[in-house]
Amino acid sequence: MKVEARIFDVCTAFFFLAAIVYTVLTQESVGVAGLWLTGGLSLIIGTYFRFVARRLEERPEDNPEAEVSDGAGEVGFFSPGSYWPVTLALAAAFLGLSLAFWHIWMIGFGLVFVLVAVAGLVFEYHVRPSHH
């Protein structure tokens, strides 16, 4: 996570520098606010990565002398036949369209649709204990 934290440190410095230059050169308030907020959000993410990096053991990505073979092995579990990601994408698209056209009943339905899809994705492999 140290690599990711450094990337966001560089982004944060760039956004704040751009915000300073933009503030001095223009009097346009929306762009100024957007750049300052972007810098702040980048700072939050970088701080989170630094916080997490202290609690994790060093990964091969964090070691400049690591070999490619150091990262070999299982990466994680990926569901081979899940329809929930597609369902979530459709729910997000529906919610986006409902926001674009500002139909309140569609927004309500879209929010429920997104929540159901997220719950389905999160709890896909959660099985109730059997009563034997």
Who wins on pLDDT, 27 or 20? Answer: 20
Whether this model's pTM surpasses 0.85: no
Same domain, 66 and 89: no
| Owning domain of residue 63 | 2-71
Burial annotation 74-99 (CB, 10 A radius, 16+ → b, else e): eeeeeeeeeebeebbeebeebbeebe
Same domain, 117 and 90: yes
How many domains does the chain divide into? Answer: 2
Same domain, 92 and 66: no
In tens, the pLDDT along 76-132 reads: 777 788 899 999 999 999 999 999 999 999 999 999 999 999 999 988 887 666 665
Is the Cβ–Cβ distance between 49 and 4 less than 8 Å? yes
Same domain, 105 and 57: no
Q: What pLDDT is stored for residue 132 in this prediction?
A: 58
